[in-house]
Structure 1
Amino acid sequence: MTTRSEPSILHLDLDAFFAAVEQRDKPSLRGRPVIVGGLGPRGVVSTASYEARVFGVRSAMPMSEARARCRHAAFLARRFDAYRKVSTVVMDQLRALSPLVEPLSLDEAFVDLAAGEHPDLSPGGVRAVGERLRTTIHARTRITASVGAASSKTLAKIASEQAKPDGLMVIEPGTELDVLHPLGVRALPGVGPATAARVARLGVRTVGDLARIAEGELVDLLGEAHGRSLFRLAHGLDGRAVSSDRASKSISVEDTFDRDITDRALLAGLTRRLAEKVADRLVRSGHSARTITLKVRLHDFTTLSRSATLPGPTDDARSISRLAVQLLDEVDTAGGIRLLGVGVSGLSDWVQDDLFSAAEGSEQPPTDDADDADEGDEGDEGDDAGDLDAAVHSAGRWVPGMDVVHARLGPGWVWGSGLGRVTVRFETADTPPGPVRTFAADDPELSGVSHLQEAD
């Protein structure tokens, strides 16, 4: 059924990751509902703690709905610096197991144990590896992880989902279909709401139902590639390899606005700012890019993308900004823009500068690669949202959850702010729950210490 005879593909997923880091670093929030995400009127939930999930709060839910469902939760902005530090520790532990690690996000990755030095890849041996990994990660980060292992990537991910939270599941070879077929069809990769609705016309509710549909019928319904892929997955056939070069195929930054923006000059300025952030990340990562993409979500939630490809790779902020603004000129903004994003792809580790100095005065436009509408999720974003820490401070805005330090009272975090005041709870991951104090928002003894990143 699968290409392997041992459960040597491991999938790790950190439990309620952003919220778990916040509860670790803020002792007063341990055991309480915590919701992390965009705090503006159009913000969406990035992560909800398990205490908040009891009330029906889920990732990608509008923050307004999350507040209605769980009013007593702590609502916090995201701290990507803190999350990256934990992620780095975890990924280092995974790379100690095998040179083949495929990160999917800050908190999730596949590992090919067969590429590492593991003499025993029997179900028992793999289980021992998984338990040691979970123990080590918790000891070093104080964050829990769920781990699944199986003979394919699909089954390994399903195993980690079933092990949540803070568990381990190894699917033994030969039992894959016993685990797979009772599951809802959306457990398979590539099956979202639209595909699930289409196969439901054939009476398909579970993966087992899908496995009983002829391959040709699925191809007729879903198209050649998608139909054949789902047919194979429904029968436990997944030969996809763990790929260690998955990371850094693209870089993107986006912002969701509290109100629809129609002013083209303002939109152009925001586009340039996003493009500069993308260019900065390119430089810091040692990459350059050929394709620049502008993402726009209109007032009616229609999402458009416009892409163009340059004659050679660049990491120059001016080139990226200029092209991104040109792409913006192709979009009708009269009805208002609620989200704006700039991304780059086609990454290289070299820059051909002379192409761009020549292109400055060239009348030949870059090639247009895409002009498509898509159905983006409201919470869709790159691995990094835009770093708004400078904007937070320049506006005198103290965002709930952000790290601060007081000259006399030491480190803490913003509990809340408004009416020219900011309330801080003074505690850290290594202290008991601390006292709460309120200061003037412009108190010279209080300063922020983190680079807060927020897109919504």
Structure 2
Amino acid sequence: MDSDRRRIAHLDMDAFYASVELLRYPQLRGQAVVIGGGSAARPVLQEDGSLQFARLRDYTGRGVVTTSTYEARALGVFSAMGIMKAAQLAPDAILLPTDFDAYRRCSRAFKEAVAGIAPLIEDRGIDEIYIDLSEWPDEAEDVARRIKQAVHEATSLTCSVGVAPNKLLAKICSELDKPNGLTMLCREDIALRIWPLQARKINGIGPKAAEKLTALGIHTVGDLAQAEPELLRAHFGRSYSEWLYNASHGIDERPVVTSSEPKSISRETTFERDLHARHDKAKLSEIFTALCKRLSEDLDRKGYVGRTIGIKLRYSDFRGVTRDVTLPAPTDDAAAIRQAAGECLRRVPLEQRLRLLGVRVGTLSKKSEMEEAPQLIQQELPFSD
């Protein structure tokens, strides 16, 4: 493909989880809404038929913000922020629990809508994809508009799309005109549209690298593009400094990968309060069983079975530990996953309180290519009743 004819789009759903919730609660449109609460944040039906919503100021716990509406973001509330900290910034903001089943349904719907127009898609997560539009180099903007319309018709949600000569630039562009934006960029626009941006806007420049660049007096993408290669090499090494140079000049040859096999599938949850394996045995057993069941459903839906079953624990002091076991045959059965994960639990100390529990299945195989895996004999587990 001639690089001058290459057109790659990055589609990013706008405040995805929050937008899905606003479909359910349209009366909250235009308000500061935060997604990330547990079951206690569920709206309560009043006698008069109205709903009473939880407020951030009433939250107690250690949860984190999953996402927030743009009105909440204007108050400084962003994803991955502790909800208690968010409550200090926006005490009157409404708090809603997460509903990942609803988000996954909506995710499948928007991706199917896009595939009906442009099937060369690279799935990058629940709310974003890359799309190869190189088949329509001269009509890419029209195709992108059709895609945005199709997504809205399928989900009633908006998305933002950036179209550029490669994936790196397309991802940057999709953020420039949010929400409901469409940004077209050609190589001649890099100096005008990309170089004035903060260097950290480049996907792949993390907080530590951004901090080091700032210390060197490199603040914008343009600063980075004009930096001496020797300076970058001295502070970042040969490989990463070359990537920094290429990225700042909008050079990216990565293809749109239309299919990829996951290495593992996992489920985990952070508790609203620390739980103890003995004192909170019933609660942990319930959570543990639910994680394994949901993981089994994920495997079945995606068509995989796996042989390696693992657990992830994080103690109250934030120390983490993982363990795994390899089964004689692959499985997607919830009871078998729970049994194997229980064997892993026996190999870790459970005297301390826990703040996080996760279960993972790896060494995956396509279910269609495997015979039905034998089930393991159920045994008593550390969290079993």
If the TM-score is normalised by the length of the shorter chain, which range does it land in? Answer: 0.7 to 0.9
Contact 2:11 2:162 in 1 (8 A): yes
* Aligned twin of 2:103: 83
* 1:416-431 alignment runs, 5 A limit: none
Number of residue equivalences: 352
* Aligned twin of 2:264: 250
* Aligned twin of 1:277: 294
* Aligned twin of 1:26: 25
SS in 1 for 2:176: helix
- The one-letter amino acid paired with 1:35 is V
Q: CA deviation at 1:241?
A: 1.1
Is 1:288 the counterpart of 2:311? The answer is: no
- The one-letter amino acid paired with 1:344 is V
* Aligned twin of 2:361: 344
Q: CA deviation at 1:254?
A: 0.9
Is 1:183 the counterpart of 2:182? The answer is: no
C-alpha distance in 2, partners of 1:268/1:82? 25
- The one-letter amino acid paired with 1:49 is T
* Aligned twin of 1:371: none
C-alpha distance in 2, partners of 1:140/1:355? 37
Is 1:206 the counterpart of 2:220? The answer is: yes
1:198–1:335 Cα change, 3 Å: farther
Q: CA deviation at 1:30?
A: 1.7
Is 1:42 the counterpart of 2:52? The answer is: no
* 1:166-181 alignment runs, 5 A limit: 166-181=180-195
- The one-letter amino acid paired with 1:88 is R
Calculate the aligned-residue CA RMSD, in Å.
Answer: 3.0
* Aligned twin of 2:153: 139
Q: CA deviation at 1:223?
A: 5.2
Which one of 309, 315, 318 corresponds to residue 301 of structure 1?
318
C-alpha distance in 2, partners of 1:338/1:50? 30
Contact 1:251 1:278 in 2 (8 A): yes
Contact 1:177 1:236 in 2 (8 A): no
Is 1:104 the counterpart of 2:121? The answer is: no
SS in 2 for 1:174: helix
- The one-letter amino acid paired with 1:8 is R
Give CA-to-partner distance per residue, 1:274-318, whole Å, 9 cap, x none. Answer: 234312321333211233332222223344444455565332444
Contact 1:102 1:247 in 2 (8 A): no
Q: CA deviation at 1:273?
A: 4.3
Q: CA deviation at 1:220?
A: 5.5
Contact 2:164 2:184 in 1 (8 A): yes
Contact 1:3 1:151 in 2 (8 A): no
Q: CA deviation at 1:136?
A: 2.9
Contact 2:114 2:150 in 1 (8 A): no
Which one of 247, 250, 260 corresponds to residue 236 of structure 1?
250
Contact 1:232 1:238 in 2 (8 A): yes
- The one-letter amino acid paired with 2:121 is V
C-alpha distance in 2, partners of 1:126/1:209? 31
Indicate the larger mover: 60-69 or 226-235.
Answer: 226-235
1:203–1:292 Cα change, 3 Å: farther
Q: CA deviation at 1:155?
A: 0.5
- The one-letter amino acid paired with 1:256 is T
C-alpha distance in 1, partners of 2:243/2:323? 29
Q: Gaps (5+ residues) in structure 1?
A: 361-456
SS in 2 for 1:105: coil
- The one-letter amino acid paired with 1:232 is N
Indicate the larger mover: 330-339 or 9-18.
Answer: 330-339
Which one of 325, 332, 339 corresponds to residue 315 of structure 1?
332
C-alpha distance in 1, partners of 2:153/2:372? 51
1:277–1:257 Cα change, 3 Å: same
C-alpha distance in 1, partners of 2:90/2:306? 43
1:327–1:235 Cα change, 3 Å: farther
1:344–1:188 Cα change, 3 Å: farther
C-alpha distance in 2, partners of 1:181/1:32? 34
Q: CA deviation at 1:102?
A: 1.3
Q: CA deviation at 1:166?
A: 1.1
C-alpha distance in 2, partners of 1:225/1:280? 41
C-alpha distance in 2, partners of 1:356/1:224? 50
Q: CA deviation at 1:226?
A: 4.0
Q: CA deviation at 1:62?
A: 1.2
C-alpha distance in 2, partners of 1:191/1:313? 38
1:87–1:43 Cα change, 3 Å: same
Q: CA deviation at 1:101?
A: 0.7
Q: CA deviation at 1:11?
A: 0.8
* Aligned twin of 1:6: 5
Structure 1 length-normalised TM: 0.68
C-alpha distance in 2, partners of 1:60/1:282? 26
Contact 1:97 1:113 in 2 (8 A): no
Give CA-to-partner distance per residue, 1:82-139, whole Å, 9 cap, x none. Answer: 323322221112112322111222221110112x5x3xx13xx222222222223223
1:235–1:329 Cα change, 3 Å: farther
C-alpha distance in 1, partners of 2:204/2:327? 31
Contact 2:264 2:363 in 1 (8 A): yes
SS in 1 for 2:130: strand
Contact 1:150 1:172 in 2 (8 A): yes
C-alpha distance in 2, partners of 1:211/1:328? 50
Q: CA deviation at 1:168?
A: 0.6
